[in-house]
């Protein structure tokens, strides 16, 4: 049996819309680990947003913040923060246009405007585990790895035209992730793959969202969830079943890992 390295996205891949981890997925991952394979997370979440899941699955290697921060067995092996100059300009523009902006580092997330109904509703699944801070100047004198910009898609052009060193990745009709240009889950995966000494052909990744596309294309075996949109499925080598229809278990069987 060839040893594999497998990355799992979290939201929509491991965790369903009810914020539940299907039992078949948990058992399948446990069995894979017992077989000697390496397993890791690849998520847009920050470390503090999925500690319970890491402990539950006993997985302590992960790329998070959409690839801008990578950890192997508790050791930080990669950091790619946003430019402080660009953050200041982004903050200035968002404040003028009354667009909520959330700054995220490895320890906390802080929103620029307090009690904004759209932002709070969208972030509620995350803030159940970790409270949202409200500090307009949280980005100052900190390493910020990701921001969340709350505006409609047609308003996004104003921001993307201003910044050559930022990438705006839309994942919701009202939200874009703000990342360093060139930053992606694929970049974070590359760091972990090289650190652990794997060939890309031995690496698998499961995902469902637009921020998973580069990751699925990068690895040797990209698996899109059945609940993913068509654009994500087209980027993957395999398409498994829906998350709520034993998608992880079925996908691992497709890869002959169970």
**Which residues have C-beta within 8 Å of that of residue 141, sequence separation ≥ 6?**
none
Tokens of 165: 């060193």
Asked whether the beta carbons of 187 and 42 are under 8 A apart, the reply is: no
Active site residue 18: no
Q: How far apart are CA 45 and CA 177, in angstroms?
A: 11
Q: Pick the catalytic residue from 9, 11, 105, 212.
A: 9
| DSSP letter assigned to residue 170 | E
Question: Which pairs count as long-range contacts for 198-202, CB under 8 Å and 24+ apart, including other chains?
Answer: 198/5, 198/38, 202/2, 202/3, 202/4, 202/5
Asked whether the beta carbons of 220 and 203 are under 8 A apart, the reply is: yes
Largest CA distance in the chain: 58
Enumerate the active-site residues: 9
């Amino acid at each position: 049996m060839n040893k594999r390295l497998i990355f799992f996205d979290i939201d929509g891949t491991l965790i369903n819309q009810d914020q539940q981890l299907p039992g078949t997925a948990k058992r399948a991952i446990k069995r894979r680990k017992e077989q000697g394979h390496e397993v890791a997370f690849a998520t847009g979440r920050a470390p503090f947003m999925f500690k319970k899941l890491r402990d539950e699955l006993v997985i302590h290697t992960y790329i998070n913040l959409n690839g801008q921060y990578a950890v192997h067995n508790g050791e930080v092996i990669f950091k790619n923060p946003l430019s402080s100059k660009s953050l200041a300009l982004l903050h200035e523009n968002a404040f003028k246009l009354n667009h909520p902006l959330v700054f995220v580092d490895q320890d906390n997330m802080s929103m620029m405007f307090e009690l904004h109904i759209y932002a709070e509703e969208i972030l509620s699944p995350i803030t159940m585990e970790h409270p949202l801070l409200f500090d307009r100047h949280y980005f100052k004198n900190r390493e910020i790895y990701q921001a969340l910009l709350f505006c409609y898609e047609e308003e996004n052009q104003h921001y993307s035209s201003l910044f050559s060193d930022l990438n705006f990745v839309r994942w919701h009709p009202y939200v874009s992730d703000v990342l360093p240009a060139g930053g992606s889950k694929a970049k974070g995966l590359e760091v972990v793959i090289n650190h652990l000494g794997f060939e890309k052909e031995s690496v698998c990744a499961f995902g469902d969202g637009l921020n998973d596309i580069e990751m699925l294309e990068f690895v040797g075996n990209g698996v899109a969830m059945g609940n993913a949109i068509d654009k994500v499925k087209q980027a993957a080598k395999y398409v498994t079943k829906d998350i709520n229809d034993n998608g992880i278990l079925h996908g691992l069987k497709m890869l002959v890992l169970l």
